[in-house]
Amino acid sequence: MPGKLYGIGCGPGDPEQITLQAWKILQRVPVVAVPQGRKNTPGVAAQIIQHHVPGTTRILPLEFAFSHDPATTTRLWERAVQNLLVPLQQGLDVAFVCEGDSSFYSTFTYIAQGLSAHPEIEIQVIPGVCSPCAAAAAVGVPLVQQTERLLVIPAFRGWQEVASALTHAQVIVLLKMAGQYPEIWQGLNTNNLLTSSYVVEWVGWPQQRIYRGLASYPNLQLSYFSLMVIRPQG
Ligand SMILES: C[S@@+](CC[C@H](N)C(=O)[O-])C[C@H]1O[C@@H](n2cnc3c(N)ncnc32)[C@H](O)[C@@H]1O
């Protein structure tokens, strides 16, 4: 009988923001699969769970693309699926760990799709704390209240998309926005939204930074692990 695959969301950084359900699975599975970081360094999920995994557990590093080249991305997803199938077909349970939540812009979703050709492999998704919720908690403000609408955008396309989002929702979360920050800052400035916005970088990590009142920060050099929340109504 094949092993079972768990897709475990580990939260965005603080190792204590992992669920009890995830922790229990990490205690008992024989194999933990971790996305590798750049240049074969441990990825962020591997760092988050490092103290939660018994020393006897086998760690299976998997390579994923850091570029937007679709051919490379697909090739590495397919290879990751093949690498996961080896222990699974030996009957070993495997926990695939990902940072944040496992269904929220997560690599695990592509792994699960890749395994759909193997219906004999049972998959269970274990949710985790996603970065926007952790960021709101770190800043100490609600993310959304009552009838407010929330729109989450991967913001590679810059200000125009953000401007459009502002016509549809009261609270906007921008992910993957580091490279677009200066252009977004200009748009916020033109629309008097700098004081209604905040940026959280590396939420839950020792290097966490919170920037509120963005008027003083037109040129932040942000890490990929940064997000912005725009809340025009305070
Ligand atoms: C591919 S998405 C992964 C989202 C993740 N699965 C989650 O549940 O938050 C990556 C984006 O999420 C945001 N992000 C993830 N972790 C973060 C962290 N610790 N601090 C700030 N932003 C984070 C950033 O905007 C980053 O560009």
Q: What's residue 68's pLDDT? A: 80
Nearest CA to ligand 1 atom 12: 175
Ligand 1 centre from 131 Cα, in Å?
A: 5
pLDDT in tens, 10-68: 999 999 999 999 999 999 999 999 999 888 888 999 999 999 999 999 999 999 888 78
> What are the phi and psi torsion angles at 104 (to 5°)?
-105, 95
Mean pLDDT, the chain, rounded, equals 95
Domains for the chain: give ranges and CATH numbers.
5-126 (3.40.1010.10), 131-230 (3.30.950.10)
Cα 181 vs. chain centroid, distance in angstroms?
Answer: 19
Q: Does residue 203 have its Cβ closer than 6 Å to ligand 1?
A: yes
pLDDT, average across residues 161-165: 94
In the chain, the percentage of residues whose pLDDT exceeds 70 is 100
Exposed e or buried b for every residue in 37-54, given b needs 16+ CB within 10 A?
A: beeeeebbbbbbbeebbe
Ligand 1 centre from 90 Cα, in Å?
A: 33
186 contact partners, CB below 8 Å, separation of at least 6: 159, 218
Q: What are the strands of the beta sheet with 150-154, ordered from one edge?
A: 150-154, 171-175, 226-230, 197-201, 209-212
Q: Compute CA distances 119 → 6, 110, 113, whole Å.
A: 14, 15, 11
Q: Which atom number of ligand 1 is nearest to the Cα of residue 98? A: 6
> Cα(94)–Cα(59) distance, rounded to whole angstroms?
10
Ligand 1 centre from 207 Cα, in Å?
A: 15
Taking the CB of residue 162, how many other CB atoms lie within 10 A of it?
A: 24
Three-state secondary structure call for residue 29:
coil
Q: Does residue 228 have its Cβ closer than 6 Å to ligand 1?
A: no
Answer whether 166's CB lies under 8 Å from 149's CB. no
pLDDT in tens, 207-222: 999 999 899 999 999 9
Nearest CA to ligand 1 atom 23: 225
Answer whether 96's CB lies under 8 Å from 84's CB. yes
pLDDT in tens, 190-208: 999 999 999 999 999 999 9
Q: Does residue 130 have its Cβ closer than 6 Å to ligand 1?
A: yes
Taking the CB of residue 1, how many other CB atoms lie within 10 A of it?
A: 6
> Cα(73)–Cα(120) distance, rounded to whole angstroms?
25
Bridge partners (DSSP) of residue 32 are 59, 95
Q: Indicate the helix (H) or strand (E) that contains 97.
A: strand 94-98
Q: Does residue 225 have its Cβ closer than 6 Å to ligand 1?
A: yes
